[in-house]
Amino acid sequence: MNFPRMVVLIALACGTALAQPQPAPLTVTPLRDGVYLVKGGSGANTGFVVGEKEVVVIDAKMTEASAREMLAEIRKVTPNPVRTLLLTHSDGDHVNGLPGFPQGLRILAHANTRKDMEAAIQTQNQGALAPYLPNETLTQSRTLSIGGVPMELLYFGPAHTSGNLIVLLPRKKIAFVGDLLLVGRDPLIHRQKGGSSAGLVNVLRRMLALDADTFVSGHADPLAKSDIQALLSSVEAKQAKVKALIGQGQTLEQIKSAMGETAAAGGRFPTLVDVIYQELTAKP
Ligand SMILES: [Zn+2]
């Protein structure tokens, strides 16, 4: 997801001449020994983990400039080189900064994230990503150790997209979850990338069962299990309500209005109610 671009698009749609906002300065926050959160710059929050002889970066920012700035911040923390990138999913605000990294890194992601990136290269003018396609893909969870740091790359099925990985650091009890957790808005489900609101409920339940206490979102301050529980309850309540209203024969427009959604809700993205409705009324 990309909030600044959304602001610009809304401004353009409204015919106003707002200048593109400058990205906020990058900030690096230590979360727990050797684990850092990077906020600001262009694109989603990222993170990095300092291992014995190398650094692992989680997500790549949205522009080359912000990626380079992140690399400069990492050098202030450790002389260890970045050798591995883990991608939580394929959205541009998480991967379009890849060309700011040196080529030849180990890049791990879900196979569907690689597919989405290949599509972006073809259809969205993102040819600069070609040398940075994930060179190690997975379709199910994997346990590994990088730079002496145990990690679990967890795949719990489609949710925000069909390729979202969670990076769990079991010894630190921290999980980087990308856009599986957003705050202050309904969850965003990219159906065109195989996302699913029913899948999100399953993923949130699996997340609640993890032995972790800090959940790093692409677009919020670190969250706790109580935040996940609140989100799960709200998605389940919306699913139940949409289902009941469909059962009463209401149209999507009637349902959205009954649930307080304006025509502009969601901006350029379908709303959660749109997505739930599509899922519940899809022909098998
Ligand atoms: Zn996203």
Token pair listed for 97:
């900064």
Residue 7 has pLDDT above 80, yes or no: no
Query: What is the Cα–Cα distance from 114 to 249, expressed in whole angstroms?
Result: 40
Pick among 3.20.20.80, 3.60.15.10, 3.30.470.20, 3.30.1490.270: CATH of 3-245: 3.60.15.10
Residues 237-260 have pLDDT tens digits of 999 999 999 999 999 999 999 998
CA 267/CA 54 separation, integer angstroms: 41
Q: Is the pLDDT of residue 9 over 50?
A: no
* Distance from residue 97's CA to the centre of ligand 1 (Å): 14
E-strand stretches of the chain: 24-32, 35-41, 46-50, 55-58, 82-86, 106-110, 136-138, 142-146, 149-154, 166-169, 174-178, 214-217
Bigger pLDDT: 1 vs 258: 258
pLDDT at residue number 268: 79
pLDDT band at 62 (very low <50, low <70, confident <90, very high): very high
Predicted pLDDT at 21: 66
Residue 77 clears pLDDT 80, i.e. is over it = yes
Give the per-residue SS3 of 167-232. Answer: EEECCCCEEEEECCCCCCCCCCCCHHHCCCHHHHHHHHHHHHCCCCCEEEECCCCCECHHHHHHHH
Residue 219 alpha carbon to ligand 1 centre in Å: 9
Cα-to-centroid distance, 91 and ligand 1 (Å): 5
* 60 phi/psi in degrees, rounded to 5: -125, 15
State yes or no: pLDDT of 57 exceeds 60: yes
Whole-model pTM: value is: 0.90
Q: What is the pLDDT of residues 209-241, one digit of tens each?
A: 999 999 999 999 999 999 999 999 999 999 999
CA–centroid distance, residue 79 to ligand 1 (Å): 31
CB 143 within 8 A of CB 152: yes
The token pair at 213 is 């206490």
| pLDDT > 80? residue 264 | no
Q: Where are the domains of the chain?
A: 3-245
Tokens at 167, concatenated: 């990076």
- pLDDT tens-digit map of 181-203: 998 888 999 999 999 999 999 99
